[in-house]
């Protein structure tokens, strides 16, 4: 069978992943080497080259729409990748995050042109399905070539228990309600972020870098991922925030986000916490039986196997093959 050529249309590109939007290296750059072994070659920002499949990721402004419309007229197959719920307005969520009316309008125009809409979470897929007949959930993946370390089981028995969180520093408000509970139970907090955030007390800060992130993950014993779910923006988030920890054997406690339940709940690889009482009970349970973390660690590692980049790249390859047959 002849090889498939896909062109990835990106708003910006850089060889240094520290300077890229995380969703671009997660949903594009790290997939490309695996796709190549599966008969799918890639170009980047070469829309008028020979590629029949044109994929747009994190790129939906007027320029993107104009380009996609031109390519559509040339008979190209248009794939629009959605990593954010751009169907519902929700501004100023935990800082500057959210979705504006302009972003929603841009999204609808791109969805209207697309032959396939691929989505970074099942929640987004369900919303996209209200506007497109061919919306597909392709999860965010963890590259085990890069995230190659494994949490030492003996670490879970050491004192003290260490909680760990990773995210944009502007979204540190997610921890506002949980932080006092951690202090009350004498659980130190480790924060991995691109900039040191502010919290009402001590914590260990580790600067985020793509290159050091895998080893930094091992510093924690339990990933904590609270999140407000009173808005449609947060409901659309993927599993990656906790999945990247689970893939290295660090179990997670997370909010009842659909994508978190997908990876934690199905495998019994941690706990979903829907209230302050749930968080307290979960932390008490761990403190009373640290060996529980060892069980969760193994289950977490196994639960992320379907989400490895190699496995997810296979799903992309199948989608591209089906596109050329349509």
Quote the CATH superfamily of domain 4-141+308-325.
Glycogen Phosphorylase B; (3.40.50.2000)
Please tell me the predicted confidence (pLDDT) of residue 307: 98
Give dist(CA 72, CA 113) in Å, integer: 7
- Residues 6 or more apart whose CB falls under 8 angstroms from that of 293 comprise 156, 221, 222, 251, 286
Domains 4-141+308-325 and 153-306 share a fold: yes
Separation between Cα atoms, residue 66 and residue 43, nearest integer Å: 20
The separation between CA 45 and the C-alpha centre of its own chain, rounded to angstroms, equals 23
Domain boundaries, the chain: 4-141+308-325, 153-306
Alpha-carbon gap, residue 61 to 259, rounded angstroms: 27
Task: Look up the CATH superfamily of 153-306.
Answer: Glycogen Phosphorylase B; (3.40.50.2000)
Q: pLDDT of the chain along its 326 residues, tens only?
A: 689 999 999 998 888 899 999 999 999 999 999 999 999 999 999 999 999 999 999 999 999 999 999 999 999 999 999 999 999 987 666 656 678 889 999 999 999 999 999 999 999 999 999 999 999 999 999 999 999 999 999 999 999 999 999 999 988 988 988 999 999 999 999 999 999 999 999 999 999 999 999 999 999 999 999 998 988 999 999 999 999 999 999 999 999 999 999 999 888 999 999 999 999 999 999 999 999 999 999 999 999 999 999 999 999 999 999 999 87
pLDDT of res. 267: 82
pLDDT value, residue 86: 94
């Amino acid at each position: 069978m002849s090889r498939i050529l896909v062109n990835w249309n990106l708003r910006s590109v850089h060889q240094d992943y520290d300077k890229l939007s995380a969703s671009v290296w997660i949903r594009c750059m790290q997939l490309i080497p695996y796709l190549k072994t599966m008969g799918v070659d890639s170009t980047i920002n070469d829309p008028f080259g020979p590629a029949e499949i044109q994929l747009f990721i994190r790129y939906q402004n007027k320029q993107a729409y104009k380009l996609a419309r031109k390519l559509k007229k040339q008979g190209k197959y248009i794939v629009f990748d959605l990593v954010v719920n751009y169907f519902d307005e929700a501004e100023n969520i935990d800082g500057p995050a959210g979705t504006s009316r302009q972003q929603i309008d841009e999204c609808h125009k791109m969805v209207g042109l697309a032959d396939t809409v691929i989505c970074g979470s099942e929640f987004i897929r369900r919303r996209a399905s209200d506007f497109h007949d061919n919306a597909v959930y392709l999860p965010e993946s963890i590259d085990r070539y890069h995230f190659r370390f494994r949490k030492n089981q003996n670490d879970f028995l050491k004192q003290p228990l260490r909680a760990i969180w990773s995210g944009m520093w502007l979204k540190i408000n997610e921890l506002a309600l949980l932080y006092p509970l951690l202090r009350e139970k004498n659980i130190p907090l480790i924060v991995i972020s691109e900039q040191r955030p502010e919290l009402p007390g001590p914590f260990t800060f580790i600067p985020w870098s793509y290159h050091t992130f895998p080893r930094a993950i091992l510093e924690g014993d339990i990933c904590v991922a609270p999140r407000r779910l009173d808005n449609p923006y947060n409901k659309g988030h993927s599993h990656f925030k906790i999945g990247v920890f689970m893939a290295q054997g660090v179990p997670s406690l997370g909010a009842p986000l659909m994508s978190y339940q997908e990876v934690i709940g199905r495998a019994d690889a941690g706990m979903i916490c829907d209230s302050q009482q749930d968080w307290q009970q979960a932390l008490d349970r761990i403190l009373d039986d640290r060996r529980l973390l060892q069980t969760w660690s193994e289950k977490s590692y196994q639960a992320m196997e379907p989400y490895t980049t190699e496995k997810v790249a296979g799903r992309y390859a199948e989608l591209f093959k089906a596109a050329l047959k349509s």
